Chains A and B, each alone.
Chain A
Amino acid sequence: MKQIYKRPSTLRHVPLHYCPGCGHSIIHRLIAEVLDEMKLREKAICVPPAGCAVLAYNYLDIDMVEAPHGRATAVATGIKRVRPHNLVFSYQGDGDLAAIGTAEAVHAANRGEQISVIFVNNAVYGMTGGQMAPTTLLSQKTTTSPQGRSLKTEGPPIKVGELLAGLGSTTYLERVAVNSPVNIKKTKSAIIKAFEYQMRKSGFSLVEILSPCPTNWKMDPVASCRWIDEVMSAVFPLGVIKE
C-alpha cells in the first residue's frame, strides 16, 4: 500500500502540549516537513522563543539554543556568524519579536543576517495568559486591555512585515496563516522559500504566520479560524510583502 501521509522524521513521536486549536502544533509540523523534504535537519539550528513554543525542543529533533525573551535574533546572529553553513532560524511570537525584541529583530534584519525568522502572530501574549500584545487589534479585548485596545492610548497594532520591508537588507517577507488547509499549504511554501533564501545566502527572511490562540481569544477553534479570515487578516493582509 502506498503511504501518502506520515509523521515527519524531524517531529518527535511525543504528544504536543499545546491547547486544542493552537497554531503552534501545525507550524511545528510544517517546519518538520520542510526540514525533512529539504534534507536540512542535520544542518538546522533553531532558537526557540520565551513563550508557549519554548518547548519546541521537545518536539523538533534538531539542535536548539534557548534565548532570553526577545533576543532570539541576536542569539541566531551569533550562531550563524560562527556557523555560516548551517540553517539558522528563530521561532518567535509577537511579544517576543515586536515588543521586547524589536531592536534585535530590526537590526538583525538591517544587517542582512543570513537567518530566517518564523514569526508567529496570534495578537496576544499566549503563555502569560492573554495580555495585550503589540499586534493586538484595535478594540480587541485582552486581560490587560479589558475595554479593548485604544488607538489613543495604545496605538495601532504593529505590522512587522511592513515595518521590516522598509529596510534595505530584507529579501523575503511574507504573511501567511494556518487557519485553513489552503493557508497551511501556503505557509509551508513560505517556510520553504525562506529557508531557500537563507541557504542561497540571499539575506534576511521572515515568515509572519497568523495563528489561532482559542484559549486566550476565548473562542472555540472553528470560530478562531474564522476570526483570522474575517477580522485579523483585514488588519494583517496575507501575501508576499517583499521579495
Chain B
Amino acid sequence: MYGTHALAEAAIQAGCTCYFGYPITPQNELPEYMSQRLAEIPGGVFIQAESELASINMVLGASAAGARALTSSSSPGISLKQEGISFLAGMELPAVIANFMRGGPGLGNIAPSQSDYFQATRGGGHGDYRIIVLAPASVQEIADLTYLAFDLADTYRTPVMILSDGMLGQLMEPVVIPKPRKDPLPEKDYCVTGAHGRSARVIKSLILDTKEMEEHNWKLFRKYQLIQQQETRWESYLTDDAEMLVVAYGTAARIAKGAIKRLRKDDPDMKVGMLRPITLWPFPSKPIKDCLSTTTDFFVFEMSAGQMVEDVRLSLEGKGRVYFYGRPGGVVPTPAELARSIARRYYQMKRSRKR
C-alpha cells in the first residue's frame, strides 16, 4: 500500500468521517483515495476545497460540530493552513493535518525533504501554542501514527500533525491497517449541535481581557506540559553499546538505519547506534540527554540545512559534541553516502579520544 493510502485508510478506521483538501504534489493520492472511500461511509464528507485556507477552516467547522476531520497537503499548502491551525489551537479543537514535506522555500520542488521541522514543531502559525507532531518512518508507522493521531487530538483537544515527506507518501510497503474502533468515540461536551435543552455553546479564540487571555495561555501551557510528560515517543536502535549516536527522524532515520547496519557489518567494532524521535513535538529531550551517560558524540542527520539539530543541542544543554550532516533541497542521500559521513566523524572521534 502507498503511504498516502495507508494514512487515508487508517484515518477512516480511526473514525474520521471528514476530509477537506486542495490538490498539491506529492500527496494527491491521499485526497483521491479519500474521495472514493468517504463516499462509501454513512455521513462521510469529502470536499475538494477552493484553497488550503478553506480546507483547514472546513476542518475547523467539522471539528466544532463534533466530527473527526483530516486535511493533508505539502509544504507550501501547509503554510497556508497555518492561520487555521492557530485558530484550532486557540479554540482547543481537535484536528489531524498531514504534511508530506517537499523541498523549499517558496515553491521549491516536489522531492522529499524535511524542511518544515521548525514550522511544525514551533506551532507554525501566530500565537503562543504548540501542536503534537508525529514523524513516521515507514508505511506501517504512517498507519499506526495516523490512528493514534486522532485519539491524541481528541484527548488533548489539539491539532496533531503527521510530518512525513514525498518519499514515504509514494512508498509502497506491506501494511496492517489498524482495526476499526469498536468503542464509541469519546463524548464531546463542547461541540455545537444547536442549543437543544441546554445553554448555548460558543467556540472562540477571541479573548479581549488580557488577564483572561493570559490565563488561557497558561491553561494551554499546562496542557502542553502534560503532553510532554505523557506523549513523548522515540525509538532506540543499537544504543546500548553505542559510542556515537545518530539522531534522525522519518525518511532520514530509515537511511540512517541502513547506514548503521552497513557500518557495523563492515567494522564490528564500530559502535554506532541511533535515537529516532517519533514525536518531534514533544521532542524526546530527556532520552537524548540520558544518552550522555554512555556517549558524548551525537551525529544529527536531516534532509534540511539543519533544524532538528537545534533541539538536539538544546537537549544536551551544552554537553557532548554534536555533528551535523544535512541534505536540503529534496536530495535523498543513499545509506552508503551517509555511512561515509558517519564513519569520518566516528574515526575523528576515536582519534581525538586517544589524544
Contact = CB atoms under 8 A, between A and B. Distances in A.
A104 B60 contact: no
Contact of B192 (A41, A45, A107, A111): A45
A64 B20 CA distance: 21
Interface stretch (B42-50, B99-107, B114-122, B267-275): B42-50
Nearest to A77: B58
A76 B194 contact: no
Interface in B55-84: 55, 57-67, 69, 83-84
B45 A81 contact: yes
Nearest to B20: A78
Interface string A61-86: 11111111001001111111111001
Interface string B149-173: 0000000000000000000000000
A65 B47 contact: no
Interface core residue of A44, A76, A77, A103 (most chain B CB under 10 Å): A77
Interface size class of B (residues with CB under 8 A): 35 or more
A146 B2 CA distance: 58
Interface string B3-26: 000000000000001101000000
B115 to A, nearest CB: 25
A26 interface: no
Contacts of A78: 18, 20, 57-65, 69
B111 interface: no
B206 interface: yes
Contacts of B63: 78
B18 A75 contact: no
B60 A75 contact: yes
Nearest to B125: A68
Interface in A165-218: none
B202 interface: yes
A162 interface: no
Interface string A12-44: 000000000000000000000000000001111
A74 B50 CA distance: 10
22 contacts: A42-B194, A42-B196, A44-B194, A45-B193, A63-B192, A64-B203, A65-B64, A68-B57, A68-B83, A68-B84, A74-B58, A78-B18, A78-B57, A78-B64, A79-B65, A81-B58, A82-B65, A83-B65, A83-B193, A104-B50, A104-B57, A106-B50
Interface of B: 17-18, 20, 43, 45, 47, 49-51, 53-55, 57-67, 69, 83-84, 87, 91, 192-197, 199-206
Interface of A: 41-45, 47, 54, 57, 60-68, 71, 74-83, 86-87, 103-104, 106-107, 111
